[in-house]
């Protein structure tokens, strides 16, 4: 069957196709030919200018898209970098929160500090009363005396 189909395809007469004759409709007068040729050349020149202009626009658009693609790639890299840094920060923030909880629990239990830190964290003492009672024992950081301070007092001091 296949062989018969192929043979019948070659035997069938092809349809009549129109034939374009480029020499038809050419005027016999030389001045008319020149006018027609110049108008064809003008049309061709306008078409080529339009094509050139369109090609320039496409080239510029391609350059702009390439630049935007590069910028988008840079933005994507920055986003990846920011995600990596935020992941690192989460671990640091978890450690900081743990330390703050430890400090709060320590402040609730009471923390001993040197007297020199407590002196600067407490409200000022009346200088006259202090000068009369403590002339012989000046306050210094080397004093072994310790006292309790709250977490808020330490933060106020800092």
Alpha-carbon distance of 70 to 78, in angstroms, equals 12
The reported pTM is 0.36
How much is the pLDDT for 19?
64
One digit per residue, the tens of pLDDT, for the chain of length 158 reads 555 555 555 656 766 666 666 666 777 888 888 888 898 899 999 999 999 999 999 999 999 999 988 899 999 999 999 999 998 898 888 888 888 888 888 776 665 655 555 555 555 555 545 555 555 544 544 444 444 555 566 666 65
User: How many C-beta neighbours within 10 Å does residue 121 have?
Assistant: 18
DSSP letter string over 41-108? HHHHHHHHHHHHHHHHHHHHHHHHHHHHHHHHHHHHHHHHHHHHHHHHHHHHHHHHHHHHHHHHHHHH
How much is the pLDDT for 47?
94
Alpha-carbon distance of 45 to 39, in angstroms, equals 10
How much is the pLDDT for 101?
87
How much is the pLDDT for 42?
93
How much is the pLDDT for 146?
44
**Alpha carbon of residue 5 to chain centroid:** 64
What per-residue string of b and e applies to 51-64 under the rule 16 or more CB within 10 Å gives b?
A: eeeeeeeeeeeeee
Size of the chain in residues:
158
């Amino acid at each position: 069957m296949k062989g018969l189909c192929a043979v019948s395809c070659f035997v069938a007469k092809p349809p009549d196709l129109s034939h374009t004759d480029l020499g038809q409709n050419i005027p016999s007068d030389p001045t008319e030919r020149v006018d027609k040729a110049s108008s064809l050349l003008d049309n061709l020149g306008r078409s080529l200018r339009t094509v050139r202009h369109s090609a320039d626009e496409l080239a510029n658009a391609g350059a702009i898209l390439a630049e935007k693609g590069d910028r988008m790639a840079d933005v994507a890299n920055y986003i990846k970098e920011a995600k990596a840094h935020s992941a690192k920060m989460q671990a640091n923030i978890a450690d900081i929160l743990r330390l703050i909880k430890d400090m709060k629990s320590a402040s609730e239990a009471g923390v001993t500090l040197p007297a020199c830190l407590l002196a600067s964290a407490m409200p000022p003492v009346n200088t006259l009363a202090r000068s009369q009672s403590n002339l012989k024992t000046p306050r210094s950081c080397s004093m072994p005396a310790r006292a309790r301070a709250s977490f808020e007092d330490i933060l106020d001091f800092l």
